[in-house]
Amino acid sequence: MTAEFAADAHTARPIWLVRDSLPEGLDADARSWASASGFSGKQGQICLLPDGAGGLGGALVGIGPNTARPARQRFALAKAASALPEGDWRIESWPENVDPSEAALGWLLAQYGFGRYRKAEGAKARLVAPEGVDAARLIAMAEAEFLTRDLINTPANDMGPEALEAAARDMAARHGFGIEVIAGEALRERNFPLIHAVGRAAAQAPRLIELTLGETGPVLTLVGKGVCFDTGGLDIKPAAGMKLMKKDMGGAATVLGLAQMLAETGATREMRLRVLIPAVENAISGNAMRPGDILTSRKGLTVEINNTDAEGRLVLADAMAYAAEDRPDWLVSMATLTGAARVALGPDIPPFYCDDDAAAQAIQQAGQDLWDPVWRMPFWEPYEEMIEPGIADLDNAPAGGMAGSITAALFLRRFAEGAGRYAHFDIYGWQLSAAPGRTKGGVQQGARALLGALPALLK
């Protein structure tokens, strides 16, 4: 799916953004029509204006009062994109505290529709790119999110490890990435025992997908959790807990979208990018890993399996240890990892963990600037003992349920040793109900925050 702006401002119909009062320059007939239509400028309200000849002359779009908390209205203009008739539109004026780039990106995101299984189209109204915005960069952001959404929205019968590999190969071919895949028994032979153990019970073989791009500059390595479906394994989830488990590869979908965004914006000309995706299904069979098993990771650390449903950190651990062996400047993991993160911050704000204060500040600020909110959480070292079971080096599921997102992050950090700096994102990857610019279903989180922070991270 592609995102696009309208090409010709001269033929586009005008939109007046309205807060509390109608804008100056609106003629008397339009003012009378707006009054007769009951238009007040309430956020999301739309009034189509006649042109005097039986046609459509423009539209008034309410954006609500000028508040001190504009974040509450994120992508508010995207409501208009979905409600206006098909055709080309331009914004006539920009009221105070309306960011043209944010409005334009939200409009582009509203063009998304997931139509693989039935006809579903996004907004057909196209916006002329506002003056001064970086239109190509906004399109790259939107299309990267479309890729992520498509991957997450596709059910596991069509998005297993094989299909995830195919999606990675397609993205690699379009953007010039090198790609290598290690699958099945080759994982055990090449010392990826945890990835193999988690995925070996599934019908499709587990695999590690590796993409590379760039030859000079600092190294950024992205690791995305690619659990294409998670039954919970022998510690099986109840039916309600499995309903959204097609999205358990949301970390993989996000790093693929981010890699595409980095390539399309030209960021990879000044860096070396590596993407690692352990792609598995956590299934049940006679050879499934069992509660109480102790597995030895690629790094040599032993892990007691106290819950087979805490498998994401296992596959990430081997991939991260492999990444750290090359000592990248930055190692970033992204995963739909814990329910504890949702309890703490809800579905919209993924927590991230980073020991570098300046880098963490840059990531959080970039998330705010690019309408991709994230919130820093601590690697709280006193909790380290919670992931040390005594019988093995590490526990994949500490008892008690306290601080679940933090203990998962601490577990992963053990495998990042060797990388220059490390950040972990515990994302949700799902929009529970439709919102401006965001359909119900898969959603990208954290990718734009990282894109915006890169200049600070890699300097």
The residues annotated as belonging to the active site are 237, 313
User: 294: how many CB neighbours lie within 10 A of its CB?
Assistant: 13
β-pairing, 13-18 vs 394-395, is: unpaired
Contact of 272 with 214, CB cutoff 8 Å = yes
Measuring CA to CA, which residue among 97, 98, 245, 149 is closest to residue 438?
149
Distances in Å between the Cα of 225 and the Cα atoms of 109, 147, 284, 347 are 24, 16, 19, 18
From residue 372, give the alpha-carbon distance in Å to each of 75, 152, 198, 279, 427: 11, 18, 32, 26, 12
CA–centroid distance for 90 within its chain = 29
DSSP letters for 234-272: TSPPPHHHHTTGGGGGHHHHHHHHHHHHHHHTTGGGGSE
Structural tokens at position 36: 């007769």
Which residues, 6 or more positions from 152, have their beta carbon under 8 angstroms from its beta carbon?
246, 247, 249, 250, 253, 429, 430, 441, 442, 443
